Structures are given as C-alpha cells and as structure tokens.
Amino acid sequence: MTGALMVAAGTLASSQELPAPEAWAALERGDGSRAAAIFRDALDRAPHNPLLHYGSAHASLLLGRTDAAISSLKKAVEQNPRFMPAMVLLAQVAYSAADLDLAVRSLEKAVAMAPRDRELTAQLAKWKKETDLHQSFQTRPGVRFNVLFEGPAQRAIGDRVSAVLESAYSSIGKQLDIYPGAALEVILYSNKQFRDITRAPEWSGGGYDGRIRLPVGNALRSPQVLDRVVVHEYVHSAVRTAAPTGVPAWINEGLASYLEPGDKTWAARVLKASGDRIPLEDMVEGFGGFDGPTALLAYAESQVAAELLVERLKPHVGAFLQLLGNGHTVDQALSRHGVPPETFYAEWRRRVGVRDATR
C-alpha cells in the first residue's frame, strides 16, 4: 500500500480490519476504475465510514474526477473531523482545483490538529499570503477564462491574454481533440510576485498548477513572447484535462513547446550546441530542479519527442493522453495506437543525436 494510504489506514484502522481491502489493493495497482467500483459498493453498505470515503477520493483522483474527490473528502472529514490525512488531502486537492478558500480553511483545521508540524504551518502561511494578494486584484471574467490582474496598468495585458487563450482553446482543441470544460483561472503577476508565490526557478517564464500563473512585467514590449508563454501554459491545462495523472514531463513539456506559436528551429540549435543528452527516464518528474542550460536542453529534447508523437499519433494524441491518465504506461499507450515503442525511441534517439541504446 502506498505511503498516504498507509498513513490513513494506520490512523483509523490500527485495531480493526481495513474495510474493502480489494479496493485499496486496486489503488496500489493504479486501477482507479476497479477501486471506485468496490468503494461505491462498500459505501452503499457503510455510508458513514470515513476511510471508505477517503479511499473513494483517491480512486476519483486516479480517474481525474477532481470534483468527486473533493466531495468524498468532505464526507470523510464530516464523519471524522480529526481525520488528518483526509483534511490535508482535501486542502491539496482544493488548491489544485483553484479553490483557494477551501484549501485555506481545510489546512487551518489540519494545522490546529498538528500545530507543531512546520511543513503544514509554512504551507498555510504561503496560501494565506497568496489569498491576501489576490484579494487586491481585479478580474476579467469570461466563460472559459477568468483573468486576474493588478490594477489598470495590467488591463491591456489581461485583454491580450484573454484573446490569446480564446484562440488557443480552438486551435489546440483541434490539434489534440481536447476542450477543457471548467473555467480556467489565469493570474497575472509582477515578476517579483510571481517568484514569491510560485518559487519557480529563475529561467521559468510561467507556470501551471491548476491555474495559469504569468509574470507580465513589461510583457507588452515583447507581445510575441507573451503569446508563446500563454499558449504553452494553456497546453498544460489541456493535457491535464485529458490525463490528470500519468503524463511524463517530457511529454507534457514537449507538447507545450511543440504546440506553442513561434519558430521551432531553436531546438535543433540547442541540440547542436550541446554535447550532452538527457535520458527520457530522467525527464519524467519535471524540469524544476534543472539549472537554466539543462532545462533548455530538456525542453529541446522533449519538443523533438512531442513532434514525433504528433507525427505518429495524429489525430489520436488526445486519446493517447487519456490512456496515460487511465494508468497505461507510455509503451502500452503507444502500442495501443499501433506505434511500436522500440521504433519510437530509436527514431527519437536518431533525431536528438543519441547513438547508444539510452532512451
């Protein structure tokens, strides 16, 4: 059983048998559909069991059903207000769903239960700081995008960002067959605010964590750069819509780089200038820990991989991503679409200039 689930089991079931053990085993295997079905049946018989609601929330998260996960976690803490793992997870999921108020309220309750937990206390302080900052922002509401910005000086930037996003919704949707349904929150920051809130590396030009965050100091001096970053981050939103989990960073970042507007030849120049190569298995979890030159190389290699994916899978990239979100490995998802994994990796190695058998 995975770490978070073991914590929950140890918290509430130390002296009794864990309910619906087959469902927990399915969660450990990554089989969200099987786990959800078993938890659903178990909850019909025991609707007040907080562990079952907690497990059901995990199954919903595996299936990309954030709203259902939040509902299950609320029920778990209603049945046991001192169910610490459920309270913390509720805060985390609410934050990823851009419900900062629920995230703060839930984490406040968790901190009250564990006042000496420095990590939780620091996270709560960070979220409260973010809440206070956003309360001073203005909002440009829309059907698909709500853009937050600070004062009249950023209004023109907000208007441009909204227009770019509306265009991207259509163009990216056609390429990936992915059309996010829920309204997406987009927050425009000064460069300093962006670093303070996100703690992103210096080379980062934007971020997506359930909401798009953009540093827009002097953005209108380079509108094409702004457009590129906006579309890049929007692609991350589209990818998460198709597959909330299971997408390696080299696919996620690669698609965002490949589908953003602008010249694509930069990747070839980066690869030509560098004698190093990063294996795909070292680009699974994200690029945030890389320094600037290493990150640039990672983006270049990932863009090549994404271009190859689109060539081989088009028009089924969205369906491929859904398979990843449903627990398939990259190799399995490629095979399901008639792309032999070994030939895909061999061609990627050839294009990025790797001559050995490293992926």
With a cut of 90, say whether residue 7 has pLDDT above it. no
Average pLDDT, the chain: 93
Classify residue 15 as exposed, middle or buried by CB count within 10 Å of its CB (0-12, 13-18, 19+): exposed
Nearest Cα neighbor of 178 from 262, 249, 135, 240 is 240
Give the pLDDT confidence score for residue 187 in this predicted structure: 97
According to DSSP, the β-strands at 145-149 and 138-140 are antiparallel
pLDDT tens profile 243-258 = 988 999 999 999 999 9
Domains of the chain: 3-127 (1.25.40.10), 136-234 (3.40.30.160), 243-359 (no CATH)
User: Could you tell me where the beta strands, DSSP code E, fall in the chain?
Assistant: 138-140, 145-149, 184-189, 207-208, 212-215
Give the pLDDT confidence score for residue 18 in this predicted structure: 82
Give the pLDDT confidence score for residue 330 in this predicted structure: 98
Confidence at 148, pLDDT banded by 50, 70, 90: very high
Q: Rounded CA gap, 297 and 199, in Å?
A: 21
Give the pLDDT confidence score for residue 2 in this predicted structure: 47
Confidence at 40, pLDDT banded by 50, 70, 90: very high
Give the pLDDT confidence score for residue 5 in this predicted structure: 53
pLDDT tens profile 206-261 = 999 999 999 998 888 899 999 999 999 999 999 999 998 899 999 999 999 999 99
